[in-house]
Amino acid sequence: MTGGGNAQEWMTNVLTGLYSLLVPVFWNGYTVGKRICGIRIRKVYDHLPPSIGTMLLRNVVAGIIYGFSFGIALIVSIFMVALREDKRALHDFIAGTEVVYD
């Protein structure tokens, strides 16, 4: 593979990470897909949109945990969403968030 492919992959990863981190902060808990589906991210306790710190916990810290557990935590999260009444996954508990319908 050439060096250009690696740079392109790196740029795609950076832009994707920034999108998932910043768009919910500046767009009241929505991403484009969540807005289309009529759902949004909010904090559990005060029902406010997520802050940058909240989204860092939700995305970065949870991603690290999913990686260190070799995907086991991700599988646990899938079961949590499928079986829990409130549909909260591990990353929601880490960040104190929930995804709700409008």
Rg (CA), the chain: 15
pLDDT at 102: 84
The model's pTM is 0.83
Q: What angle do CA 38, 44, 46 make, to 5 degrees?
A: 105
Mean pLDDT by 10 residues, the chain (102 residues): 74 93 95 95 96 95 93 95 94 95 88
pLDDT at 3: 54
